[in-house]
Amino acid sequence: REKPKRSGIENKTATEATVYLYDAIGGFFGIEPGKFVKDLNDTKATTIHLRVNSPGGDVNAARAISTALSQHPAKVIAHVDGIAASAASFLILAADEIEMAQGAFLMVHNAWALTIGDAKAHVETAALLDKYSAAIANDYARRSGQPIDVVSAWMDGETWFSADEAVTVGLADKVVETTAAKNQWDLSAFQNAPKSLCI
């Protein structure tokens, strides 16, 4: 779907910078993690505002960006302006604070992949996906304080959290009383996307 793609760093000063993650993560057409991390590391601001509206994307690309955010010396405040789905939902956990706009959503699910090959190839991919999902589940559990079996059940069920629900379960810290950004993403690949978001 045609959509405005936006990533990069704006409003840089000695004390604050705004980093936009308004696109899919990684892949052929999404945010390229190498450039994103380089731009982030070149930012010397003491506070970084990470503004997110993303359907997710490649788990390895998201992990690279998440690691760079967690290792940056600045205080990082994540603002979920629209949706933080799939890989975007664990990427934001690297922030020191997570704020969600009223009407924004956060979605968690198990890792996905496409496999081409024989039965052995599919079995190997399944084992790898289990490892990815376990690592991500640990991220959610560590941030939220919820038991790992509860988090795993969220992921098994592809759970969409409203802003208020995300705060209640510990995946966000604060709801901001502002209108969420309009969804620009085709979410038909997901089973449980709220009807209000489907386009």
With H, G, I as helix, E, B as strand and everything else as coil, classify residue 52.
strand
Catalytic choice (7, 54, 66, 86): 86
Catalytic site residue 86?
yes
Helix locations, the chain, DSSP H: 33-41, 59-71, 87-91, 119-144, 148-156, 163-169
Which are the contacts of 176, defined by CB distance < 8 A and separation ≥ 6?
79, 99, 100, 101, 102
Active site (annotated) includes residue 109: yes
Query: 35 Cβ partners below 8 Å, 6+ apart?
Result: none
Count other Cβ atoms within 10 Å, centred on residue 113: 11
Active-site residue, selected from the candidate residues 49, 72, 79, 109: 109
Active site residues: 86, 109
